[in-house]
Each structure stands twice: as C-alpha cells, then as structure tokens.
Amino acid sequence: MPKTFTPNFNRFNSLFELVSYFNTEQKCEKFITANRWGDDIVCPYCGHHHCYTRSDGRFKCKDCNSNFSCKADTIFDNTKIPLLKWFMAMYLISCHKKGISSVQLAVDINVSQKSAWHILQKIRTLFAQDDSEALDGEVECDEMYLGGRETNKHQSKRTEGTQGRSTKTKTPIFGMVERFGNARVLKVSDTKASTLRPIIEQFVADGSHIFTDEYQAYKGLDERYMHSVIQHGIKEFSKEGITTNSIEGFWAYFKRMVFGTYHYVSTKYLQRYIDEAVYRWNTQIDDEGERFDIMLSKSIGVCTYEDVKMIA
Ligand SMILES: [Zn+2]
C-alpha cells in the first residue's frame, strides 16, 4: 500500500505563501523528512527502522548499509530540479482547472520545457486511478474515441453500429461516472462487451444503478446491476431521469483539457492525461490548497522507481 501522510502545516493560500515558506532547499527536505518519517527514518530499500542521519543530511541504513536522501523512492528522486520548483509545479497544477502545459510551466518556474514536461509526467503518476473505492449509487457508463478526424462517438455509433469501428486512428476510452460523484476512466483496447464488462465489475459495486446508451456491449448488465438504457437516437435524454449527462459532462471537460491546454496527447501517455482529468474531476469541490495537500501527500513514498523509470 502506498504510504500517505497528513501534511503537517497550515494550508498555503497562494503561491506567494508557498514560495515564502519554502525559501531554501533544506527547508523543503526537512519538510519531506518530517512528513514522511517523523523521527523514525525507515530505509526505503530494506524497510529497516531507525536509520541514522549523516553529517551531510542524508541517511544511512544500519542493516543494508544504503545511503539515501529524503527524496529516495519518490517522484523527486534522481533529479536536479530544486524541490521548491517541484512544489511550485504541484501548486500551479492545483490552480489550473484545465491543466497546465509544459510550455507554460517552464516559463512559470524557470526551467527548460523538457524539464517541465518531465515534471508534469512524473506528477501525473500521482493521479493513477485504482479500485480501492468502488463507485456506487447511480453510475453512468459510456465510451468515447479520441483522435482521428472526429471524436463524436454518437455519430460513429449511429453510422456503423457495433461492428467495424476502426481503432487504427482512434483510441477508445471507457468512462464510469457517479452522478454527483467520482469518476473512473480508462484507455481500453476495444469496446467489446468482453472488455468493458470486467472493467465495470471491477470498479462499480454490485447492485448499483447503471445508466448507459443502447450500445450492444452493455446488454446483460441487468444480471448484476439495475440497468437503465437511454436511446440517444430517439432523443430520450431526460425521460424519467434516464440520462447520461454526468458522463457527457466528463467527456466535455476532458476534451477541453486535451484540446484546449495540451493540443495533442500521444496514445502512449494518454492514460496519464486521463488520470489527471479524473483527479481534477474527483477533487472539484476541493480548493487549490486541498488539492495541493493531496498531491504532496501522494508524492511521498508512493511512486516506485519503476514508475519513474518508465517516463524518465
Ligand atoms: Zn536498508
């Protein structure tokens, strides 16, 4: 299980407050150390407790003899970028509702665009979705296609039905959104029932009320869920509350983020951008300070070396 902590400071209400507080690298390191371990420094390599502090501020494990810093096994590991810039980046990401481009971040924190890109990619790893908390209640499910010449999935559904939809130029994405609640959204290989059903069963609690359109892949959901179908073709959008307005809202939001801020996202990193959008969607009611807290708490001890290496 990833280690999380409750940040031990009064909330920062502005970037200015953040920068004023973390005015030295040592202060940032002290903050990470205190919040990550308190007084009991634990070796990130062997799990040994009570490692000792060296004169240079790094730590040494008495058991496996590893030397390590407070940044070991976090997203800040193996980087020359000052911690303050990382913290600023996280704060700026918290503030920009539609995301922040690497070009803009580079200007804002005075790093190269390449460094800004790496920072953003690493921070996005903190947003990875999991199934630790199932969606329940009223859940709307839907698919969309990103890329190619058009992204309007209703058009493609109407014209081609369930057969022969090419995924050569478009990437299918599958979304599940609670009404007035959380979302889980995944890049998928295809939108066949055999692909979507296990995902729904993984992320949506049994007995929930699922709303979908009439797409064939959703047939049979009523074996495990209450299932209501909306027929887009005959304009039944608001009949008896049978709508997919929540998931449509998410798709609109996601497209604004992708096309408005990032302009282009590669298929390779698509899931990370989806994760970012889902994170923003799920924390809509939080303010910048709260979002920053969550991000910071996730950044310590959650990102494995393998995660980082994948994008390094
Ligand atoms: Zn050790």
Name the phi and psi angles at 75, rounded to 5. -70, -15
How close is the Cα of 177 to the center of ligand 1, in Å? 43
How close is the Cα of 133 to the center of ligand 1, in Å? 33
Q: Kindly report the average pLDDT of the chain as a whole number.
A: 83
How close is the Cα of 49 to the center of ligand 1, in Å? 8
How close is the Cα of 37 to the center of ligand 1, in Å? 14
Percent of the chain predicted with pLDDT > 90: 49
- Residue 168 confidence class, pLDDT cut points 50, 70, 90: low
What are the tens digits of pLDDT across the range 79-116?
899 999 999 999 998 888 888 999 999 999 999 999 99
How close is the Cα of 36 to the center of ligand 1, in Å? 16
Q: Kindly write down the DSSP assignment for every residue of 108-132, as one continuous string.
A: HHT--HHHHHHHHHHHHGGG---SS
How close is the Cα of 221 to the center of ligand 1, in Å? 49
How close is the Cα of 276 to the center of ligand 1, in Å? 33
Q: Where are the domains of the chain?
A: 1-35+75-127+285-312, 39-72, 138-255
How close is the Cα of 129 to the center of ligand 1, in Å? 30
Average pLDDT over residues 211-218: 92
What are the tens digits of pLDDT across the range 31-67?
888 888 888 899 988 889 989 999 998 999 999 999 9
Higher per-residue confidence, 68 vs 305: 68
How close is the Cα of 297 to the center of ligand 1, in Å? 23
What is the structure's pLDDT at 34? 84
How close is the Cα of 63 to the center of ligand 1, in Å? 5
How close is the Cα of 53 to the center of ligand 1, in Å? 13
Q: How far is CA 199 from CA 205, 268, 279, in A?
A: 11, 20, 19
Name the phi and psi angles at 281, rounded to 5. -60, -45
How close is the Cα of 67 to the center of ligand 1, in Å? 8
What are the tens digits of pLDDT across the range 235-271?
555 556 667 788 999 999 999 888 888 877 888 889 9
How close is the Cα of 124 to the center of ligand 1, in Å? 28
Q: How far is CA 137 from CA 96, 174, 207, in A?
A: 30, 19, 8
How close is the Cα of 29 to the center of ligand 1, in Å? 20
When computed from its CA atoms, the radius of gyration of the chain, rounded to whole angstroms, is 22
What is the structure's pLDDT at 14? 84
How close is the Cα of 44 to the center of ligand 1, in Å? 7
Name the phi and psi angles at 180, rounded to 5. 60, 30
User: Do the bridges between strand 226-230 and strand 209-213 make them parallel or antiparallel, or are there none, so unpaired?
Assistant: parallel
Q: For residue 241, is it left (φ>0), alpha (ψ between -120 and 50) or beta?
A: left
Take residue 64 and report the two structure tokens written for it: 């496996």
CATH topology for the 138-255 domain: Nucleotidyltransferase; domain 5 (3.30.420)
How close is the Cα of 256 to the center of ligand 1, in Å? 46
How close is the Cα of 166 to the center of ligand 1, in Å? 51
How close is the Cα of 66 to the center of ligand 1, in Å? 6
How close is the Cα of 75 to the center of ligand 1, in Å? 20
Q: How far is CA 83 from CA 108, 114, 253, 293, in A?
A: 15, 17, 31, 15
